A and B are shown apart, each in its own frame.
Chain A
Amino acid sequence: SYEVSQPPSVSVSPGQTASITCSGDKLGDKYTCWYQQKPGQSPVLVIYQDTKRPSGIPERFSASNSGNAATLTISGTQAMDEADYYCQAWDSSTVVFGGGTKLTVL
Chain B
Amino acid sequence: QVQLQESGPGLVKPSETLSLTCSVSGVSISDYSWSWIRQSPGKGLEWIGYIYSSGSANYNPSLKSRVTISGETSKNLFSLKLTSVTAADTAVYYCARGGSHSTGIDRWGQGTLVTVSS
> A residues engaging B (CB < 8 A)?
1, 31, 33, 35, 37, 42-45, 47-49, 54, 84, 86, 88, 90, 93-100
Of B35, B62, B105, the residue contacting A35 (CB under 8 A) is B105
Q: Are B58 and A88 in contact (CB under 8 A)?
A: no
How far apart are A98's CB and chain B's nearest CB, in angstroms?
Answer: 8
Contact status A96-B47, CB under 8 Å: yes
Instruction: State whether A48 touches B94 (Cβ < 8 A).
Output: no
Which B residues are in CB contact (< 8 Å) with A93? 58, 100
Sorted from nearest, which 10 A-B pairs have the closest CB atoms?
A: A48-B104, A33-B104, A31-B102, A95-B47, A42-B108, A100-B44, A97-B45, A45-B106, A99-B44, A49-B102
Specify which of B45, B102, B103, B109 is in contact with A100 (CB 8 Å cutoff).
B45
CA distance A86 to B94 in the complex (A): 15
The interface residues of chain B lying within 8 Å CB-to-CB of A97 are 37, 44-47
A-B contact pairs, 24 of them (CB 8 A): A31-B102, A42-B110, A43-B94, A44-B108, A48-B104, A54-B106, A86-B44, A88-B105, A93-B58, A93-B100, A94-B58, A94-B59, A94-B60, A94-B61, A95-B35, A95-B47, A95-B60, A95-B105, A97-B37, A97-B45, A97-B46, A97-B47, A98-B44, A100-B44
- In the docked arrangement, what's the CA distance between A25 and B94, Å? 28
Interface check B71, CB cutoff 8 A: no
A48 B103 Cβ-Cβ under 8 A: yes
